[in-house]
Amino acid sequence: MATDKKPIILAVDDDPQVLSAVDRDLRREFRRDYRILRASSGDEALEIIRELHQRQEPLALILADQRMPGLEGVELLEQARALFPSTKRVLLTAYADTTAAIRAINNAHLDYYLLKPWDPPEELLYPSLRDLLAAWQATYRPRFEGLRLIGFQWSPLSHELKDFLAGYMVPFQWLDYENNPEAEALLAGTEYTAAELPVVVFEDGTAMARPERAAIATKIGLASKAAQELYDVVVVGAGPAGLAAAVYGASEGLKTLVIERQAPGGQAGTSSRIENYLGFPTGLSGAELTHRAWMQATRLGAELLAPQEVQEMCIQDGYYKVLTLTDGSEIRTRAVVLTTGVSYRQLQVPGMDRLNGAGIYYGAARTEARSCEQRDVYIVGGGNSAGQAAMYLATYARHVYILIRGESLAASMSAYLIEQIGNTPNITIMPYTQVQEVRGDGHLEEVVINNNGQVEAREAQALFIFIGTKPSTEWVQASVICDPKGFLLTGRDLVADPRYPQAWKHNREPYLLETCVPGVFAAGDARTGAMARVASAVGEGSMAIKFVHQYLDE
């Protein structure tokens, strides 16, 4: 149950006059920062404490009288400690009860005791309570108010859900069931068991076990159904190129829809730091850049469907493009911009399939970095994505090893990253090195490497893989022409490449970013000849909208 209420001070006394005086003095001094509750008996106070514990509300201090019928003050403080071990406990006593106070110090870990009367409170009450409350605040961590994910660290599905939530910049708290006592207590408040993990607990208290991404998307307010019957342009893919196309399309008055199958940002969205993007001299994370672009596109009127996937495209009446989604629904549009991006190639060595998502990750440095604290991790690949991941992981891991097949990083990584890596003492580059095998029982434990002919098994907490990419164009290759590697052919390549005679069969010249289907354009990394840079992808996405306008004006 979410709460934005202040921490609580609980006053307990069976004498109405004394309780009223305590309540008055406490409110006078502490009501701005604390809620003051009162109870007229130990049993009533215990019920209040149990209710606060159930509602997970913060109890800062208990001030309890010793001599009460039924449950006495010392007994109350002893039982309260079991539910709120960090709460400060103060016994209110008469001079004759100092023995009870000493017993409470030993048995109930009493923090302080006060003698009646405490007048004037400015001298005999407030200074002691202020010190105790300051000590409590120093260690108090407010309860997280948002989505919480309970799971096992080495569960591939837990990893997928973490990546999904992080991709949409949904604030969430990760609770490892095996190592976090709070996870067990939170799970006990749902209808699920540990056998059904991972479990997502939403801010409103509802929970889902092993949920599909679409179910989470609906719960957090993402749209999965198109709002219009016909669009001017549909952008397939929400990486930098797709988001740029969405911003320019929407800002120029086109009915614009973006469809994303995973999370906005593409590969750039997973980058921990982009330092060579124009206008950001101190750099920014891929997630931050993505979030800004996404907000900008939706503010200007673009729609976003996610997570949703296109599985087929066909032409209707020689003009309209009909996109069929995996849920069977169809979307009609006058023009399409394909910004499907690329995906990381899989490393094919023994053990990979079994441990994927359980210590072996493809471009997932941000969501798993904290689990690598003070451990050795390995990165395979020498491009900018690998370098950015290495720099980010180095702030958590004991040591980061970058494995590359060649002699150095110079041919594949930007100079600024190479310099940063060289100045980071807990990053080591291992040239002429490849992964030969991965091992582990339920999760990655060892990486077997071949270093220039010498085979060695090394202990490893995590292995991050960045070994090149392939275009995500499988679904569209039946409709448009791609090169042998699957990249989309556009513009002059359709008429100048002798390998594809008759690729363009129309009277006019194709526009610069147009595919073999008039009105279907491609931008970003999935296009033949793309530069694989964020800035160039953004440029191509915005250029594509210029050509969409020209096509629609024909």
The DSSP secondary structure of 325-360, one letter per residue, reads: ETTS-EEEEEEEEE---EEEPPP-STTHHHHBTTTE
> Is there a contact between 296 and 249 (Cβ–Cβ < 8 Å)?
no
AA identity, residue 412: S
pLDDT at 518 over 90: yes
Yes or no: say if 539 and 531 are a contact pair by the CB < 8 Å rule: no
Backbone angles phi, psi at 493, to 5 degrees: -60, -25
Average pLDDT, the chain: 90
Specify the pLDDT at position 231.
98
Same-domain pairing of 83 and 160: no
Q: Are residues 35 and 52 both part of a single domain?
A: yes
- Asked if 11 contacts 36 with a C-beta cutoff of 8 angstroms, the reply is yes
Does some domain include residue 326? yes
Q: How deeply is 103 buried, as exposed, middle or buried, from its count of CB atoms within 10 A (0-12, 13-18, 19+)?
A: middle
pLDDT, position 283: 81
Q: State phi, psi for 124 to the nearest 5 degrees.
A: -110, -5
Q: What is the CATH number of the domain that holds 388?
A: 3.50.50.60
Rounded to whole angstroms, the Cα distance separating 433 from 456 reads: 11
How long a stretch of residues is the chain?
Answer: 554
Is there a single domain that holds both residue 234 and residue 295? yes
The answer on 243 and 168 residing in a single domain is no
Q: What is residue 66's predicted lDDT score, i.e. its pLDDT?
A: 87
- Is 200 within a domain? yes
Domain match, 406 and 528 both = no
Between 24-33, 191-200, 264-273, the lowest mean confidence (pLDDT) is in 264-273
Amino acid at site 516 = C
Q: Total domain count for the chain?
A: 4
Amino acid occupying residue 29: E
Residue 142 in this model has a pLDDT that exceeds 60 = yes
Give the CB-side neighbour count of residue 356, counting CA atoms within 13 A.
12
In a domain, 372, yes or no: no
**Is 370 part of any domain?**
no
Distance CA 528, CA 490 (A): 7
* Together in a domain, 135 and 172: no
**Domain limits for position 164:** 147-219
pLDDT for 1: 36
Question: 517: Cβ–Cβ under 8 A, 6 or more apart, which residues?
Answer: 315, 321, 479, 480
Same domain, 163 and 302: no
Q: Are residues 508 and 401 in the same domain?
A: no
* H or E, element range at 487: none
Q: pLDDT digit string (tens) for 410-455?
A: 988 999 999 999 999 999 999 999 999 999 999 999 999 999 899 9
Task: Let me know whether 22 and 130 are in one domain.
Answer: yes
Q: What pLDDT was estimated at residue 82?
A: 86
Distance CA 285, CA 275 (A): 9
Both 325 and 356 in a single domain?
no
Average pLDDT over residues 396-406: 94
- The DSSP secondary-structure symbol of 356 reads B
Quote the strand ranges of 15-117, DSSP E. 35-39, 59-65, 88-93, 112-115
DSSP secondary structure letter of residue 516: S
Could you tell me the pLDDT band of residue 111, with boundaries at 50, 70 and 90? confident
Instruction: Evaluate if residue 510 carries a pLDDT over 80.
Output: yes
Q: Is residue 278 part of a domain?
A: no
Residue indicated by tokens 């409170």 = 121
Domain boundary among 87, 112, 139: 139
Which one of 193, 219, 245 terminates a domain?
A: 219
Residue 267, domain member (yes or no): no
Q: Is 202 within the bounds of a domain?
A: yes
pLDDT digits (tens, 9 = 90+) for 76-89: 998 998 899 889 99
Q: Which DSSP state fits 398?
A: S
Q: Is the pLDDT of residue 3 over 50?
A: no
Give the separation between CA 386 and CA 423, rounded to whole angstroms.
16
Cα separations (Å) of 327 from 17, 167, 261, 309?
A: 68, 22, 12, 8
Higher-scoring residue by pLDDT: 267, 416: 416
Task: Report phi then psi at 337, rounded to 5.
Answer: -120, 115
pLDDT level of residue 365 (50, 70, 90 thresholds): low
pLDDT digits (tens, 9 = 90+) for 34-67: 999 999 999 999 999 999 988 888 999 999 998 8
43/45 Cα distance (integer angstroms): 5
Residue 369 in any domain: the answer is no
Q: Which residue from 311, 269, 312, 305 is spatially nearest to 290, judged by alpha carbons?
A: 269
Examine the domain organization and report whether 50 and 171 are in the same domain: no
For residue 198, what is the domain's CATH number? Answer: 3.40.30.10
* Confidence bin at 408 (pLDDT 50/70/90): very high
Residues 43 and 121 in one domain: yes
Can you read off the two tokens belonging to residue 178? Answer: 């095996």
Question: Among the three residues 80, 104, 139, which one is the final residue of a domain in this structure?
Answer: 139
pTM: 0.76
DSSP string spanning 232-290? EEEEE--SHHHHHHHHHHHHTT--EEEE-SS-TTTTGGG-S-B-SSTT-TT-B-HHHHH
